[in-house]
A and B are shown apart, each in its own frame.
Chain A
Amino acid sequence: MNEATSHAGSVSVQHAHDVTGMPTKVHAREVTVHYGEKQALFGVSMDIPANSVTAFIGPSGCGKSTFLRCINRMNDTIDICSVGGRITIDEQDIYDPSLDVVQLRARVGMVFQKPNPFPKSIYDNIAYGPRIHGLVRSKSDLDGIVESSLKRAGLWKEVSDRLSEPATGMSGGQQQRLCIARAIAVSPEIILMDEPCSALDPISTAHIEELIDELRENFTIIIVTHNLQQAARVSQMTGFFHLGKLIEYADTGDVFQNPQHSMTEDYITGRFG
């Protein structure tokens, strides 16, 4: 199976350059993940292009979130989790022992499945990242970052007059956009999104999808989704995971209209998963 995976990986590299014309941002080779005795990821290799949206699809427990969490080393917070293989961002090995994980996470932001605003005001939620990273010198700088982040997340008009109110009082969709704004505020290069719309209603989902499309201009976005239509709508590249293996990775049009692998075809036509 390893052979097949690496084969899929090498195919994808060509596709990546063909479709988006963008340089490789994240480069993963033979990534494996173990949770204690249990292996969750088997030799995943892929090149993720910059300034594009890459979607990971696949049935529950297929390893797509696990792989996503390798990219900003969120798996470090789980004691029993061990990661093998090699992941580089802009040719820098992110599992290099000399690398500061705090700085890595400032470069690779993350948005979670459930909106998780801090129990603080809207303003403080956005200002949290810039503050801990010392990105600002003055209050007006910070105000500027808060405003521009909220504007880019399409939330400014709705909340500009109530920045001091608690973030937890907003609707689910607004909270999720706040979390995106919070991630943007640190000026990351990559934003990871772990099923960002699964807890939201269709209208909020549409908002977020539009937002993702706009954000592509400035950020590399990697999104895990259960919603195949969503993957087709927002992404340029799609990777299909199954049982911890990357089955197929190609540009989104190809994956959905002309899948190379029968398992991919079965999944996207709804025969399993």
Chain B
Amino acid sequence: MLTSYLPVVLGLLILYSFVMGRRRIRVAADAQAVRPHSQFGYYGLYVALWCGLPALIVVLAWLMFGPVIVDAVVMSSLPDQVTAGLDSAKLGLLEAEIKAIAGGVVFGEPSAAVVAAAERLNSLRGISSTAMFVVVVCVALGAIAYSRRRVAPDFRARNKVERTTFWLMVLCSVIAIVTTVGIVLSLLFESFRFFQLVPFWEFLFGTTWDPQMPIRADQVAAEGAFGALPVLAGTVLISVIAMLVAIPVGLLTAIYLAEYAPGRVRASVKPVVEILAGIPTIVYGFFAVLTVAPWLRQMGAAIGLDVAPNSAMAAGAVMGIMIIPFISSLSDDALHAVPQSLRDGAAALGATRRETIIQVIFPAALPGIVGGILLAVSRAIGETMIVVMAAGLIANATANPFEAVTTVTVQIVTLLIGDTEFDSPKTLAAFALGLMLFVITLGLNLVALTVTKKYRERYE
């Protein structure tokens, strides 16, 4: 198809326009025997930017709105008797069927009108992509022609290029922000729909979580209960266990690496510890389910303790191991950033290494360490795969680490797995849980920022 050549054609055009712009200013400068305002390359860049940017914008716009328009045209061209009496959901199904047929997937025996619509869709798509190619190339050529005429020795190409780069960078940073806002908004809207079905306070402070919705009205356990407290309690319990494992181990690792280890040891140990962070979480999940949980159960049995097969302890401990590198690496960086002069100062007063570390180095590095820990907490709360594999499914508000608990992330996964309808409270509850997670981690990040800022003011 023509469109697949578009990137190549556009790339060549941009390259050509750069070379052309540079040559043109060189010729013009020689002819008038003057020094141009900017270096030659800037004129090339100027023309190249003019060639590339508008074309890129047209491509993006076309990709975004083209299919929508094509679909709308196809749907509106359907005969009235086909669409008569269909609500928006049925229309959506019809549209999906047409698209499937256009893609070559035929279910059953579609009506002639639908087949015709599918053919029309295919031909319109072809026209659209050809048109896009033509329009984009025209835009690029037109922009080259326009910008080419402005290339002259007294034209301030450098300033234009700098200005454009500035706005490009602003645009890129806006993309991240807009995406975040988009995600938050979609969470908010779906959660809002959920809270129309289930009262907000019941969700927040309800103590029963049992999201099975009845299929028949007279079914046993006919009511879904959406009290998030026990789920949240599970997340908190597992995160606390994880942090109890990760904070001491991670911090002591960091202190050893930063203060005691010879440079050679540090250079080899630090990357090895960081490998822990690179192990896929599903592997940790195996480890928790197949190694740690049975081991805990045996140990428990040996001392007469009843340990659930999918205990909070197993999931939390393994999660803690996964998080060690976050804490050790960030704390090590923070400790390392404390100036050597403070160590010398303490040593010159006759402080031992341990006294120096506890009383001088550690407080000075505290903001960085707290930041690392809070980041690790956010990570623990949001961690999914280990708990899906190793923690339980039944919501259980308990503080006993040897019982099975479930977590927010596990519940989101189970709510959204399988055939789901997007208007039942069961499915929408996933968004409410997601929103809750988001609010918690956001809160933690804010706390981390404030703590860091406050201590920085005090310590620098």
Contact = CB atoms under 8 A, between A and B. Distances in A.
A182 B350 CA distance: 12
B262 A116 contact: no
Interface in B336-371: 339, 341-352, 355, 359-360, 363-364
B460 interface: yes
Interface stretch (A126-134, A231-239, A256-264): A126-134
Contacts of B343: 77
A129 B345 contact: no
Interface residues of B, number: 22
Contact of A105 (B347, B458, B460): B347
Contacts of B459: 119, 166, 168
Nearest to A77: B347
A166 B458 CA distance: 7
A192 B345 CA distance: 12
Interface residues of A, number: 29
B363 A132 contact: no
B261 to A, nearest CB: 11
A125 to B, nearest CB: 9
A166 B343 CA distance: 18
Interface in A175-204: 179, 182-183, 186, 192
Nearest to B352: A102
B348 A74 contact: yes
A119 B460 contact: yes
Contacts of B350: 102-106, 129, 132-133, 186
A105 B347 CA distance: 8
A118 interface: yes
A129 B352 CA distance: 11
A129 B458 contact: no
A120 B351 CA distance: 16
Given A128-B359, A166-B458, A168-B459, A109 B364 contact: no
Given A79-B262, A168-B460, A120 B363 contact: yes
A116 B349 contact: no
B363 A182 contact: no
Interface string B70-88: 0000000000000000000
A119 B367 CA distance: 12
Interface string A123-154: 00000110011000000000000000000000
Contacts of A166: 458-459
A112 interface: yes
Nearest to A165: B458
B349 A109 contact: yes
A205 B460 CA distance: 23
A237 B286 CA distance: 73
B344 A183 contact: no
A122 to B, nearest CB: 13
B342 A110 contact: no
A132 B351 contact: yes
Interface string B438-454: 00000000000000000
B363 A119 contact: yes
19 contacts: A102-B351, A106-B350, A114-B341, A116-B344, A118-B345, A118-B360, A119-B363, A119-B364, A119-B460, A128-B351, A128-B359, A128-B360, A129-B350, A129-B351, A132-B349, A132-B351, A133-B350, A179-B345, A186-B349
Given A118-B359, A128-B359, A132-B352, 20 more contacts: A79-B262, A102-B351, A104-B350, A105-B347, A109-B348, A109-B349, A110-B344, A112-B345, A116-B342, A116-B345, A118-B345, A118-B360, A119-B342, A119-B360, A120-B360, A120-B363, A129-B350, A132-B349, A183-B348, A192-B348
Interface of B: 262, 339, 341-352, 355, 359-360, 363-364, 458-460
